[in-house]
Every structure is written in C-alpha cells, then in structure tokens.
C-alpha cells in the first residue's frame, strides 16, 4: 500500500468524517446479520430456559426452545446456529459413548431445528468434553490425552451428527489427524456436502471459563488442555495448523478466542485466503456483558465495535453469543 496524503491544509482527513452519511460512504468494513453464527447451549427437559450465571443474557435451552430460537434467528437473518449440549456429571463417562448416540441432546436438537426451520444451518462441535467424566476433549489414559484412539471416537461422533442432518461440523478437539479422518468417513458415508469448519487455530485460553460452566465441564475438568490446544505465545504454529487442516480437507477455518487473537485472524486470511471465522468466546462475551450490566461501558457500542473488529481483521464471519442482540440492533438501524 502506498497511501498518498497532501500536506495540511490541502489534506484535512476530518472532511470524510464530518457527517454520518460521509462516514458511511467512507467505511471500509461492514457488519451484517449474515456474518453471524449463534452458539446456543442445549439442555434436557421441556420448555426450559435456564440462565448461565457467568454469561449474563445467555440461557441453556431445552430442545423445544432451541427450535424456537432457530425461528428467531431466521427472522433476524442469522444464517447458522451452533449447538453445545450441557451434560451433568451423571451422564459423563470414561468411554464418552453418549457422543455418538444418535439420540443425544445435540442430535435431537439438530433434528428439531431442521424440522422447524429447514433452511437454518446447524453447526455442531466435535470433541468429547461434553460427555467425558474428565472434562477433556479426548480419552485419558494414565493421565495422557491419547490422540489416535480419540480420533476414532471423533469420527463416530461426527458421523452421528451428519446422520442427524447438520450442515457444518466444527472439530474443536485439537487432536492430530482428525480433519482427514472425519473428511474420509463423511465421504465414505455419502455425506459429501457437510462442511468442515475446523477450529484450526484454537489456543489454550483462560477465556473459555464461562463456557465450561455453561456446558457443565468446569467441575469435571482435571488439569488443563495445554497438551493439545495451542500455546498463546505462538503465531507460526497457528499457521502450520491451519495449513495442515486445509490440506486434510477443511472447507473453512476458525481462530479462537477472537479479540486477543486478531493478529492470527489477519495473518490467516492473508496467508491462506480461505473462508476464515473467529469465535468470540464466552469470556470475551462475559467481560463486555458484565461491564455493561454494571454501567461501566456502553454495551451496544462495545458489542458492535468488537464484532466489527473481526471484519476489519479479515474474518468472513463470527461465532458470537451476541448474534441475536447484534442482528436486532442492525435491523433497527444502518449504524455499524
Ligand atoms: N471442545 C470444547 C469447546 N468448544 C468450544 C469451547 C469454548 C467456547 C467458549 O468459550 O465460548 C470449548 C471449550 C474448551 O476448549 O475448553
């Protein structure tokens, strides 16, 4: 880039900032409901809407309420919902068998959404942590999260999700070789149109704390996830993970968390020119929502600014708990 600026007063950059119309004309990036994926927590029961204490404004929904949420999303122009099941300690086992149960919570919610709103895209998470008594994304053997055996289970989980009708599968487990294995299994089973959105650049982050509360994993988790998620110190490693996952058949890639990793978003987009998404995770949501609740920041403006940042960084879309609030705000105005 070679920006050319005349010396003052020939150049007065404030000319282009003078009115809302002028600013709209000069805007380099925009945000729309079509950029958003809404992560939703699913729980047992009927007609249940249970607040998540650490995420003000976010609820765990029973399957019937998830279908209603899908209708709401469709009305707001949000193209996709991402499902995360809440599992209590009593349903967590060492063999994680619930993960590939065709009738598990996630698969039931998928079918309910597809029945209620067929055009709503359903995304699901592939990882064992909602079903594991250890809270880890893989099997634990002698204190080690084992890779290859976990990948076999992830393949079964992904196939059950595809059978239930999901459009987008998001492996979030960070095991080695899972994208290739899941892609091959999907092809073999006739699910050639299922999109793989790989959580390729997923960092071992403190910002997942409220999520682990929301899905019931906080109490279960023993230790941390640093032997499989990426060290926050690393950027080249994230590029290698993205390259690998694209080479194994990922259609799109994700950077997670979001705001603390905008450099990774920008670098990923420039390096690979692939469809690139960011996950504005639970801790990021909680910080903004809690500060707004206390009157310390303007919640709507902070939400909008944080989401626009992802577009500026090169992302094609954002997974965010703010999705319905942002879409509602966008519908009411042309403001970004
Ligand atoms: N496979 C687990 C998973 N999938 C999405 C999130 C975090 C999402 C959020 O914090 O909003 C996590 C948590 C983790 O890795 O511990």
Measured CA to CA, the distance from residue 333 to residue 141 in angstroms comes to 54
CA angle (234, 240, 242) in 5-degree steps: 105
Question: Up-side HSE of residue 202: CA atoms within 13 Å toward CB?
Answer: 24
Q: Helix 63-76 crosses helix 323-332 at what angle (to 10 degrees)?
A: 30
Q: Could you identify the atom of ligand 1 that is nearest to the CA of residue 283? A: 10
- Which pLDDT value is given to residue 91? 83
- Which pLDDT value is given to residue 261? 98
Burial 293-331 (b: 16+ CB within 10 A, else e): eeeebebeebbbebbbbbbebbbebbbbbbbbbbbebbe
| Stretch 183-202: mean pLDDT | 98
| Residue 211, ligand 1, Cβ within 6 A | yes
Burial 14-41 (b: 16+ CB within 10 A, else e): eeeeeeeeeeeeeeeeebebebbbbbbb
Pairing between strand 49-51 and 59-62?
Answer: antiparallel
Output the CA 257–ligand 1 centroid distance in Å: 9
Output the CA 11–ligand 1 centroid distance in Å: 48
Q: What domains does the chain contain, in order, with CATH numbers?
A: 32-332 (3.20.20.70)
- Which pLDDT value is given to residue 130? 93
Q: pLDDT band for position 219 (50/70/90)?
A: confident
The average confidence (pLDDT) of the chain is: 96
Asked whether 92 and 103 are in contact (CB, 8 A), the reply is no
Measured from the Cβ of residue 98, the count of other Cβ atoms closer than 10 Å reads 20
| Residue 228, ligand 1, Cβ within 6 A | no
- Which pLDDT value is given to residue 14? 98
Residue 247 has pLDDT above 60, yes or no: yes
- Which pLDDT value is given to residue 312? 98
What residues act catalytically?
Answer: 202, 256
**Residue from 136, 137, 170, 229 to probe ligand 1 pocket by mutation (most atoms less than 8 Å from CB):** 137
- Which pLDDT value is given to residue 63? 98
| Per-residue pLDDT reduced to its tens digit, 25-47 | 999 999 999 999 999 999 999 99
> What is the pTM assigned to this prediction?
0.96
| Stretch 172-195: mean pLDDT | 98
| Stretch 269-288: mean pLDDT | 98
From atom 8 of ligand 1, which residue's Cα is the shortest distance away?
281
Residue 123 has pLDDT above 80, yes or no: yes
| Residue 321, ligand 1, Cβ within 6 A | no
Asked whether 220 and 89 are in contact (CB, 8 A), the reply is yes
From atom 14 of ligand 1, which residue's Cα is the shortest distance away?
208
Output the CA 139–ligand 1 centroid distance in Å: 17
Output the CA 27–ligand 1 centroid distance in Å: 33
| Per-residue pLDDT reduced to its tens digit, 139-165 | 999 999 999 999 999 999 999 999 999
Residue 60 has pLDDT above 50, yes or no: yes
Residue 334 has pLDDT above 60, yes or no: no
- Which pLDDT value is given to residue 336? 46
| Per-residue pLDDT reduced to its tens digit, 305-315 | 999 999 999 99
Measured from the Cβ of residue 59, the count of other Cβ atoms closer than 10 Å reads 17
């Amino acid at each position: 880039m070679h920006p050319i600026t005349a010396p003052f007063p020939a150049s007065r950059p404030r000319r282009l900032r003078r009115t809302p119309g002028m600013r709209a004309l000069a805007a380099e990036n925009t945000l729309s409901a079509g950029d958003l994926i809404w992560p939703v927590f699913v729980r047992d029961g009927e007609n249940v809407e249970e607040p998540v204490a650490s995420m003000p404004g976010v609820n765990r929904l029973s399957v019937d309420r998830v279908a209603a949420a899908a209708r709401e999303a469709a009305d707001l122009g949000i193209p996709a919902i991402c499902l995360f099941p809440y599992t209590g300690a009593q349903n967590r086992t060492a063999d994680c068998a619930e993960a590939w149960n065709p009738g598990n919570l996630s698969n039931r919610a998928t079918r309910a959404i597809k029945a209620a709103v067929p055009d709503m895209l359903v995304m699901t998470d592939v990882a064992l942590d909602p079903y594991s008594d250890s809270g880890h994304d893989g099997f634990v053997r002698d204190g080690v999260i084992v890779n290859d055996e976990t990948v076999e289970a992830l393949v079964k989980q992904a196939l059950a999700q595809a059978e239930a009708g999901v459009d987008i599968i998001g492996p979030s487990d960070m095991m080695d070789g899972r994208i290739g294995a899941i892609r091959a299994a999907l092809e073999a089973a006739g699910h050639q149109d299922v999109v793989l959105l790989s959580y390729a650049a997923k960092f071992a982050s403190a910002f997942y704390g409220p999520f682990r509360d929301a899905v019931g994993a906080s109490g279960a988790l023993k230790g941390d996830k640093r032997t499989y998620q990426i060290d926050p110190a690393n950027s080249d490693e994230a590029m290698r993970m993205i390259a690998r996952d694209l080479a194994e058949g990922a259609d799109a890639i994700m950077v997670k968390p979001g705001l603390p990793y905008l450099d990774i978003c920008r670098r990923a987009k420039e390096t690979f020119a692939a469809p690139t998404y960011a996950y504005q995770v639970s801790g990021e949501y909680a910080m903004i929502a809690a500060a707004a609740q206390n009157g310390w920041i303007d919640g709507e403006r902070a939400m909008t600014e944080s989401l626009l940042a992802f577009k500026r960084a090169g992302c094609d879309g954002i997974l965010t708990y703010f999705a319905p609030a942002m879409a509602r705000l966008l519908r009411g105005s042309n403001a970004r």
